[in-house]
Structure formats: structure tokens, C-alpha cells
Structure 1
Amino acid sequence: MVAWIAPGLTTIALCWRLDRRDGVALGFTAHDRDLMIDGLAYRAAPGMLPSSISLSDGFEVDTLDISGALTSDAIRGDDLAAGRWDGARVRLFAIDWTDPASEALPLARGELGGVSLRDGAFTAELAGPTALLEQPVVEYTSPECRAELGDRRCRVDMTSRRRLVSLLEVMDSITYRIDAGAVGNAYGYGRLRWMEGPNAGLTSAILSSDGGWLTLREAPPATAVPGMLVEIGEGCDKSLATCAGRFANAVNFRGEPFLPGNDLLTRYPGA
């Protein structure tokens, strides 16, 4: 136990740090003034408070709700709606506000789940480390590959399969023409990363490609305009035929295309 919590008159300040997936880190505190802790400024945010903290020493899944008004310029409603804060890492701790350099008392940590917005306020659920226990221990069988193109199980080198291009034409919210061509549907099921504009840092799924045209699965949060710089990466439909014929990577295919399914049980002579 930290020493500063023992005296009868305590000087406890509640703090929490949020680290987004794009590298942005923010700090907030329930204290009435800003605190500098480990080189990060923790801004006073009295309108942003976590729910009561209840932790157990068992394997039950610990969760925590964080809610508050959108009072900070760093947390905006459009960023929350765009999903920039989904999956952000959160660390909640208590500190002695008279000596921010003293030892902190950790209270909870985890990742933000879905974020909901209503009447200028937000609510997010923090899932602790024990939430990992709810995930399946082993993978389910599937005819399609369960690896992601270019990951450590797939092992396809993506260096030459990603490129920076500019948008030449915006037909509608999901259809764009780029300044580079592609053979067939090479970028179908791939990813488009926005490098400029209001969508910078976000990623959109590519539904299909045809020459210099790309079609996204859904429209980005903000409107795209010609001239924007984006990064596009090739995709894979996760079939064995594509893995072997296009990528020559059948040895790393992570699926069971020839494993009989449950429909085999319904087959009988004369059916």
C-alpha cells in the first residue's frame, strides 16, 4: 500500500490515461486543477467520471463504465462516432495531488468497448484483462482462411502490396478513382487508410476494385474530396484457390476447405 493513503487527511486525486490505437495519449483527473504525471498533462475534467470500481480476485469478468459530458476539446463527438476511441487502452489510478511524482495506486486497466452518445454526453464500457477469458480457447474450423493477409500466420510480404495514391475523382460516398490501376479485383477485401483530411488516421474496408476504381464497404465518417492522399493495401477473399493461385501461399493456408460440414449428416442414398 502506498504511504500517502495512510494519514487521516488524505490528498487523493483520481486519474485516468487513455491511449488511442493511433498513438494519441490523453490524461484526465477528477482534481480541480491540472496535474503533470510522467511527462503527460492530466487535465481537470470534473464532468468525466468512472462508475464505482468493483474488482474481484476470481475469474469473473470485471467491467467499469466511464461516462461524462463532452467538455474536453480533445474528446469530440465526431471522433467518438467515427470510432477513433474504440479499443483505446485505459489505465485508472489514484495519486497524491500534492506530490504527483509519488507512487501511484493502480485501480483498473483495460480497453474501451463500444461508445454511445446521447444528449451531448458519452458512455463507454471498460473491459478488464479478465475479459480475455471469454474468448474461445481454440479456433473453430472453417472452409475459409482464418489468418489475415500479411500477418504472422499468413506470412505474405505486404511491402510491395501497399501503395500511396491520390484520389482523382469522387463519384459518390463510397466510389473513388485513384491515380493507379490494379489488375482485376486486387484490392477487393483490402484496406484503405486515410492519410489526409478529416478522416486521417481512420481505415475503411475496400469492397472491390476494378482498374483505377475502388468501392468501399461503407462511407467514411467525413466527406472525401479529390486530391486526398490515401494508402491502399491488397486484399484476399480467404479462399484456397486465391491463396495458392495468386499468392503461392497454400502452405500457410489456415482453413479446412475439404473438411465435411454438418450438411454431410443430411445426405443419404436417393436424396
Structure 2
Amino acid sequence: MDSVTELEQRCADAWPALVDEPLGQWRLRAADGFTGRANSALTTGDPGVPVPAALERVITFAAAHAIKPAAHVVVGSASESAVAGAGWRVDHDHPGGASSYVLTGALSEFACPKSEGVAVLPLPSPEWWNLTAQDNPTAAQRHVLGSGHVVGFGEVRREGVVVAAVRGAVVGDLLHIARLAVVESARRTGAARALMGALAAWGLERGATRCALQVAEHNEPALRLYASLGCVEHHQYRYWVPA
């Protein structure tokens, strides 16, 4: 099993920000405000300078890229203690929730052949964009969701309409799964499970053996789905901001 630092770094590689600058082992990320993960400093490892000085760099970087200064901090880590000691606080006002779970699982546990209407495509369709982002995605959305070395865009079509979508990105032997969305009329009909099974099979074909998912703590339907697929908690992280 990856260490927390290794897994967080792989997830960051799979979710490319528009700007990603190293600060020692930290990563300063910006993407015009699209998602907390792509617009926060990943604080795993040693920043190479005292943490208060590193956090000042986070604030300066955020101002230069017109985003809110934020730190992505693993719960219970040495970084969390240091960030708290520098006077920062948990961002309870974060739109997606301050805290998230990182789940991992074996793809072989839920991979299945594609059923009718289910596909994993090399390019996102307009309907895929509409369901996972918006009709006319911004440059930041296109970069974060649309770029990567090995990326697949899963969708479920019923009567010609996309009713479920998901993004998968392979980094080494890890399939990073994100942006799962199902229209309300198709929920609890097996669409999400069929889509996840097809994406897992797609990842296995490309050398991945396991998956990682980052899920907001309040997203109980998603947590129940992933638990039923054999995914378990690896660790948690929270967003911190200047007090």
C-alpha cells in the first residue's frame, strides 16, 4: 500500500492544475478556482523552509493567481499540527465541505464487461461536459478534467441521452476516479455501478490494479456506493485557510 504522501502525490498528478509549482515537497496549485484540489497547496512532505514561511508563500502564490489561499492537509499529519500552529484554521465554509475521505480499492473487485449504452471514451462528449462541469467548460475545466497521459471519459447513454458520467486517469498502477455524476431520473437504477465496472475494466486494460477516490465526507450516497464496491478508507484530508 502507498504511504499517504505517495498516494496524495499520485492523486495530484492525476488531477492536473493549470499551475503546479514545487515548494520543497509541497505543491502550489492554481486553476482559476475550479475545485479545491487544483487550487490549494498540497502539504505532504517537507516544504524545505519553516512551515510559517511556506504558508506565506502559499498566500503570495494565491494572490498572484487570483485564488483563495488554501492548504490541502492530511488529517493527523505533522503538517496539520504545523499549519494549526501557524495560526491557520479549518475552512468550514469550503463549498465542497472542509473534509474528504481518500478511498482505495482493487479494480478486480468490481470490474465488469461494458453493458449496452456504457462506454469509456478517449475524448469527452459535449454531453459528458454538460453533466460533469457545464455546457461551455472554461479553460481551467478543460485542463483539469480533459488533460492527462491516460485519461478515460465514461458515460452511460439511455435512449441517446447521457444519464451518468465519470472521469478516470491512470497514473502508474493507480486509477484515479473522479467526477461521478448521475442525473436524478437515473439514480438507483444501476447506472453508476455499471459505469464504475466499465471504468475499472478500462483501467485494468491500461495497467492499473487499484483505484483511488476523493469523496467529501457529507456525500453519503457516493460513500455507500464505493463501500459496496470494496473501497475502504486510506486517510482523510481537510482544507485550511489563514485565520
TM-score, normalized by length of structure 2? Answer: 0.29
The structure with higher relative contact order (CA 8 Å, sep 6+) is 2
The structure carrying a bigger helix percent of its residues is 2
TM-score, normalized by length of structure 1? Answer: 0.27
Higher Rg of the two aligned structures: 1
